[in-house]
Amino acid sequence: MPTTACITTFDLADLPAARVLAQSVRAAHPTWRLHAVLLDELPDDLPAGIFADFDTVVPVAALDIPRFPGWIFGHDRMTARLPAGVLLLGGMLGREADLVVYLDAGSAVFHPLDLESGPLAAASILLAPQQIEPNDFAPALRDGELASMRQGIYSPAFLAACNDRDGLAFAAWLAGMMGRHQADSRLGAALPGPLFCNLAPALFDNVRVIRDPGYNVGGVNISRRRIAVGADGGIGVNGVPLRFMVFPSAGSPEEAMMERYGRGDIELYELMNWHRRQLARHAMEQRA
């Protein structure tokens, strides 16, 4: 039976968010294995069971990244997330799973992602664009499409690859770019990690770009997405199920975009409040 692994990366400050993600993945996909990269060194006095939401947690130093000190120096806690995830993804694909899904620690899954069956199952590589519908309001265009042109067309919070020729080639290439080349000054100035994914449809076959508003809902695209809760208790976006949402960190530009383009939708604020409550709960447990 094909196996699926979900990976994420976090530092200790983001452990509450990562736990929210892990629990949401477990609820939607009980059979998935959950793996994480810890971007900090493991402290000696870590409370027992603090990583219980994950099947494995490995420290980033264990990823065998070439010229690791330079690599880690070149990142901050946010920009290291995707590259570290990609490096783990590359290592796991084929060895431990037939499908590996990376999700950013700031996201949460609501309805199942439907990656293993249906139309998305046929793809080797899955990417979720930041925008799937053009904006026509100048500020939203500036914060949306124009920002994506600079920082990456595809979401840095999600990617998936299958254990096949194209998936393996993509994973190896992306790991190489994010592991070696990002730390290699001979290749010029370091580029934002997500930008590399722009090349994927050009370089690889069987790439599926998920143009479904239920995936990758976040500040960068909320201007074109409207959340609604149905009578059956399901949460939808533009009439389709909400698959996963990327929650902005406090004070981030994405949070301002949620505010600016959310149109006062109460359901959007309910989701954000829910995420904040979960973070607070886990943070309290962590302190206890």
**Chain positions contacting another protein, by CB under 8 A:** 27, 110-111, 137-140, 142-143, 229-235, 242, 259-267, 269-271, 273-274, 277
In 3D space, the residue among 111, 151, 114, 116 whose CA is nearest the CA of residue 131 turns out to be 151
Question: Residue holding tokens 């899954």?
Answer: 109
Distance of CA 213 to the CA centre of its chain: 16
Least Å distance, CB 5 to another protein, is 24
Cβ 26 vs Cβ 34: under 8 Å:
yes
For residue 263, give both structure tokens: 């149109």
Least Å distance, CB 264 to another protein, is 4
Cβ 155 vs Cβ 216: under 8 Å:
yes
Task: Kindly tell me which of 186 and 263 has the beta carbon lying closer to another protein.
Answer: 263
Cβ 162 vs Cβ 51: under 8 Å:
no
Least Å distance, CB 51 to another protein, is 22
Task: Kindly tell me which of 78 and 229 has the beta carbon lying closer to another protein.
Answer: 229
List Cβ neighbours of 210 (8 Å cut-off, separation of 6 or more). Answer: 120, 126, 127, 128, 129, 216
User: How far is it, in rounded angstroms, from Cα 2 to Cα 104?
Assistant: 23
Task: Kindly tell me which of 194 and 236 has the beta carbon lying closer to another protein.
Answer: 236
Task: Kindly tell me which of 11 and 53 has the beta carbon lying closer to another protein.
Answer: 53
For residue 276, give both structure tokens: 């904040």
Least Å distance, CB 41 to another protein, is 34
Least Å distance, CB 140 to another protein, is 7
User: How far is it, in rounded angstroms, from Cα 36 to Cα 104?
Assistant: 10
Q: How far apart are the first and last CA of the chain?
A: 40
Least Å distance, CB 217 to another protein, is 13
Least Å distance, CB 144 to another protein, is 11
Task: Kindly tell me which of 24 and 163 has the beta carbon lying closer to another protein.
Answer: 24
Task: Kindly tell me which of 127 and 242 has the beta carbon lying closer to another protein.
Answer: 242
Task: Kindly tell me which of 9 and 221 has the beta carbon lying closer to another protein.
Answer: 221
Task: Kindly tell me which of 83 and 236 has the beta carbon lying closer to another protein.
Answer: 236
Least Å distance, CB 135 to another protein, is 10
Q: Can you list the pairs that 263-272 forms with residues at least 24 positions away whose Cβ atoms lie under 8 Å?
A: 263/226, 265/226, 265/227, 267/227, 267/228, 267/229, 267/235, 268/222, 268/227, 270/229, 271/227, 271/235, 271/245, 271/247, 272/247
